[in-house]
Structure 1
């Protein structure tokens, strides 16, 4: 991951995630009410909420958004079809407008100091103090090992029909089965196209009842493993190549990645991820939280895909806002206890 080596503070506002956004003193160790790790929809939404709550907040972002290959963000009311980079740039400007700060960097480790603050260390040597920590680092999509698949990810290789279904409607769509959910994926995608083919690949053989359901929805089934993708320089994905050499035409290929939470930094605080299952299939790993986003570690919250593997962009933004509100309430409670203690002492 690239680093820019800048200090936290700068007077200029930039929409480039590699620049520091906001204002501050330029000390080597600043103390913030909240440090947000991750600058996607969840992190920026949280920072915006905290800025409007008059909290000092810093967003640390590695600059590698998960949805960067996608052409647009969908089902985000008021921003339908907006390019992912544009949405994030707008969010950064809005955060800066309420006094929030952003810097590009990768967190190397986190520890809780004797005074209760968190010390957040970055790989470039910078250190940050925070009263509370909000982790919105998202997840990594681990794709099936088919040559060419990763290069088309987010273009014609897709996983979410609500994110991309409309864009490939009525086109020939392939579904690559790698587990027991392949049948359900194919049935789901048949809502967007009557030309869906289920490639059994490494998935299990459907039972008779599953074959009947697939036939009722007009879904074709092809046995054998997919060995490669057929890609045209002008038209993109045009087909999949089976182990025997046969090419089956498709314009989109649906896969089921393993979703792995980016949560290594939380192990420093004694937090571990859990496996998420659906229909007996392990979807991936996530950070457990309560409804507010609070983790088992006091003072640490998580929001977005790092704790909800199937959240869309709008869902991640909502969870960031809700977690920020919970963090602010927790800070108010602490400050009130301190104020009461001071009042009693002085009285």
Structure 2
């Protein structure tokens, strides 16, 4: 297969990648969609390489015949660097390959060097306006590091030019791709280390590209700083100076702390509600029991009053009662009336309390659903 690559016309890089079929242990889920750059951190802003076309950049840096990556890794003191051959598509507009190396790591419980397995892929496309774009994506993993299989580090190099013969500009994005929910446990530690290491590595890569391809040390013109810049209509990526919108370590730590507080609050609310519900049910049962006894007692009292000395007309014969008995019965009747009014007031309060408890249960249920959503966001998405 020829070392030259050709443009796929009228398609987007993500469409090209979606149709790629992989082998050599590479899978589609190792890569994030290249159009999701806003979910990554801009490691190197869009930078022009004067006098360098996309084709020249490819042949000098990424082609099978180039030893640029070997020299780059030696510069970083990496060892045992092995870069596989490209597996090109039939139209030479895209391809993939594997690589491996031993790199220096600063992780407790890990030796000075650890294995890094990489999967590379690229897509070369041309838009309807004639602008060309080369998207080069690297997905890496450190299987021998604790928690290293829970995520992959990603770098997306976006190379754009006004035409196939025009000067190109390079922008590098990077970040972590979560492979399973266990990554959330180490995310706050891993992301800062990965971001720092990748930023240093790809800034060095751009410096070496500039030295070898332009002949000048750090001859990098950032887009927007001068008049001689790439037409921004050719750059369909997001603004590289935009803020890093993915969750930073501090934000993730705060979110995890808030989730913990919400979880404790929900558990406490469940415990409190169980106690309130128990007290409310006891009050309701006691009220219903006393109300029943009141009705029975009132009926029995009326029967007793009617039975004792009642006349033929059915009227109570109060005249047959002595003064002490009459006062005693009158006092009981007044006490029953007072208790009835008090029970009615308590019944209204108990009804309001039951309604409040029902609303609290709904509120706790919504908090629980909110908590589930946070956990899904943290550990699964």
The structure where helix makes up a greater share of residues is 2
The structure where strand makes up a greater share of residues is 1
Please tell me whether Structure 1 or Structure 2 has the larger radius of gyration of its CA atoms: 2
Say yes or no: TM over 0.5: no
With normalisation by structure 1, the TM-score equals 0.27
